[in-house]
Amino acid sequence: MAQETKWIKAIKKKADEQAANKLIQTYYNEIFGFVYKQTLDQELTKDITQEIFISMLRTIQGFDGRASFRTWLYKIANSRLIDHYRSKYYKQNKNTESIDEKAVPGTAEFTLDVETKDDVERVLEVLSQFDRELQQIVRLKAYAEYTFPEIAVSLALPESTVKTKCYATIRKLKKLLKENEDEA
């Protein structure tokens, strides 16, 4: 943590490229994994992860340290993912090829049965219809594997509110997915 703080200060004060590289190296694999769990597309994940770190470097002056840097970075990642799934590009270029024999690692209970890219995309497409805050809660819980207390701190909400919103959103998400499945 102390080293991370030094890197952030160096980036803010003198746009230190070496400090920026070290900070990115520290979080790259974690953020890449978070994004990959939601896209199941390596090239797209690389692009979005790159956008996340570019955004992080552009806005690091606004990082005030009230939340941890990791939490702040996940907020940026969540926003980028939400923007991607709401984008015209995504809606026009859905890639629905199945991911033969690839497991979806580290997902939450409601996505355990998701085995193909189609399923993941269907879940994320329905999730993108929800309010931004609800999307963040579910994404942080299911894909970043945050605990409820961590999500509560990240979003500045009471833990009980986060739990209630998460479970209610998952129930509604399951219901909408089932309705869509029944209609097909």
How many Cβ atoms are within 10 Å of 131's Cβ, its own excluded? Answer: 10
pLDDT in tens, 8-26: 899 889 888 999 999 999 9
- For the chain, give the number of residues: 184
pLDDT in tens, 106-141: 444 444 444 556 677 788 888 888 998 999 898 888
pLDDT (mean) for 144-161: 88
**How confident is residue 184, by pLDDT bands cut at 50, 70 and 90?**
low
Sign of the CA dihedral with 109 first, then 113, 114, and 118 last: negative
How far is residue 46 CA from its own chain's centroid? Answer: 14
